[in-house]
């Protein structure tokens, strides 16, 4: 059985808590990053990453945050106009990246906590030719989960590629790259993969990468063509963060050992427990303002955004929970003080989550929510 965090206390929505064994791996001495030892580490990571992403394709590894690979995805996307589905702060970031890369970008604005309606997306795709659609799988700022398989199918039907930000999805929410016929998916190390920040991972189809050379201005550091060529040699295109690769080799193997169905089920159980707790707060405290931001039909298994009454600012509740030995997150962006976010992802377990929720209950009672 994979070692998990039965004593976890850090339920922040990313970075999430990292096991001691994984942190200890980073203390190993440096090695040449173009030598056989590093290539063996990279090859071991590929075995696990392919299982985690559900793909036979190589998975690129970047010594950057996921934002770097969001830019890489955009710089290598087919030439043309971009359609961004925006239902929170991080899907808005993808739109901002598209604009910063010089792309003409249209936006579908979706209320925070909701997901795009299929008929709305169909209408937009029918009215204008787009090269690519961007979408957040699990919107970290709200806890809303989008059906990226359906979005990709619709985008493809209209001749567009679909670029998926699955930063709080991969490793915690079901995702099968090949079986779902996705175009491109990226994630970061510090969320459901339960690694320190600083690595990002991306899978794309052979068709996507074969078309990339036709896109001008791809740059060099984040050129996916460079990543494709280097990954085939079990190398990175530029100097990697070797210590983080040590940690990743250990943790990705542990995730593969747990198995994706079991990992998805554990995350689903933690999400269900958190959502039941949050839904019960309105009755406990006699205030309908307390509850879950995302609708019941589209909630992320990795992060829950809990709505609060105006008299309990998110930062105040986070501080009160911290005094009880647990860390949760405030809301994000426009929701900073009207919500708090519980990150139930990575190697966390139900017993530890129960203790965190109990601390939240105590804090709410003290604050007379």
Q: Domain spanning 20-258 has what CATH number?
A: 3.40.640.10
Summarize the confidence of residues 164-176 as an average pLDDT. Answer: 98
Q: 260, 202, 194, 255: which is closest to 231 by C-alpha? A: 202
Q: Is 223 helix (H, G, I), strand (E, B) or coil?
A: coil
pLDDT of 369 > 90? The answer is no
CB 321 within 8 A of CB 327: yes
What is residue 305's predicted lDDT score, i.e. its pLDDT?
98
What is residue 368's predicted lDDT score, i.e. its pLDDT?
85
Summarize the confidence of residues 100-112 as an average pLDDT. Answer: 98
Q: What confidence tens digit (pLDDT) does each residue in 135-144 have?
A: 999 999 999 9
Cross-strand bridge partners of residue 341? 305, 329
Q: How far apart are CA 190 and CA 303, in angstroms?
A: 13
What is residue 2's predicted lDDT score, i.e. its pLDDT?
62
Q: How far apart are CA 164 and CA 276, in angstroms?
A: 29
pLDDT of 1 > 60? The answer is no
Write down the number of H helices and E strands in the chain. 12, 13
pLDDT of 68 > 70? The answer is yes
Which pTM does this prediction carry?
Answer: 0.97
Q: How far apart are CA 249 and CA 303, in angstroms?
A: 25
pLDDT of 240 > 70? The answer is yes
Question: Would you give the DSSP letter of residue 29?
Answer: P
Q: What confidence tens digit (pLDDT) does each residue in 310-329 have?
A: 999 999 999 999 999 999 99
Tell me how far apart the terminal alpha carbons of the chain are, to the nearest angstrom: 40
What is residue 243's predicted lDDT score, i.e. its pLDDT?
98
Residue ranges per structural domain of the chain: 20-258, 260-366
pLDDT of 216 > 60? The answer is yes
What is residue 3's predicted lDDT score, i.e. its pLDDT?
82
Summarize the confidence of residues 166-175 as an average pLDDT. Answer: 98
Summarize the confidence of residues 350-365 as an average pLDDT. Answer: 98
Q: How far apart are CA 356 and CA 342, in angstroms?
A: 9
Q: Select the CATH number that applies to the domain covering 260-366 from these four: 3.40.1110.10, 3.90.1150.10, 3.20.20.70, 2.40.10.10.
A: 3.90.1150.10
pLDDT of 150 > 50? The answer is yes
């Amino acid at each position: 059985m994979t070692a998990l965090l039965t004593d976890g206390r850090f339920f922040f929505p990313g970075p999430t808590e990292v096991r001691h064994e994984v942190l200890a791996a980073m203390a190993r001495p440096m090695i040449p990053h173009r030598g056989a030892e590093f290539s063996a580490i990279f090859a071991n990571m590929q075995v696990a990453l392919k299982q985690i992403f559900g793909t036979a394709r190589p998975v690129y590894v970047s010594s950057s945050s996921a934002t770097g690979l969001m830019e890489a995805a955009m710089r290598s996307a087919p030439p043309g106009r971009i359609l961004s589905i925006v239902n929170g702060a991080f899907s808005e970031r993808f739109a901002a990246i598209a604009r910063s890369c010089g792309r003409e970008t249209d936006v579908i604005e979706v209320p925070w906590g909701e997901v795009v309606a299929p008929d709305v997306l169909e209408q937009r795709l029918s009215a204008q030719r787009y090269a690519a659609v961007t979408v957040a799988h699990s919107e970290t700022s709200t806890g809303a989960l989008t059906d990226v398989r359906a979005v990709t199918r619709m985008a493809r039907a209209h001749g567009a590629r679909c670029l998926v930000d699955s930063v709080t999805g991969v490793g915690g929410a079901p995702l099968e790259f090949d079986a779902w016929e996705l175009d491109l998916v990226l994630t970061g190390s510090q969320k459901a993969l339960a690694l320190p920040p600083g690595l990002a991972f991306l899978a794309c189809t052979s068709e996507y990468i074969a078309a990339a050379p036709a896109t001008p201005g791809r740059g060099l550091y984040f050129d996916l063509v460079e990543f494709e060529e280097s990954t085939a040699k079990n190398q990175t295109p530029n100097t990697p963060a070797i210590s983080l690769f040590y940690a990743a080799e250990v943790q990705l193997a542990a995730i593969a050992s747990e198995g994706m169905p079991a990992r998805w089920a554990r995350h689903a159980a933690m999400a269900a427990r958190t959502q039941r707790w949050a839904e019960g707060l309105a009755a406990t405290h006699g205030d309908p303002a307390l509850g879950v931001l995302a609708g019941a039909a589209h909630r992320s298994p990795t992060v829950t955004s809990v709505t609060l009454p105006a008299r309990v600012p998110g930062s105040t509740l986070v501080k009160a929970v911290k005094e009880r030995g647990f860390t949760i997150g405030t809301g994000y962006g426009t929701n900073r003080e009207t919500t708090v976010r519980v990150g139930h992802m990575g190697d966390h377990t139900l017993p530890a989550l129960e203790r965190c929720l109990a601390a939240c209950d105590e804090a709410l009672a003290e604050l007379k929510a």
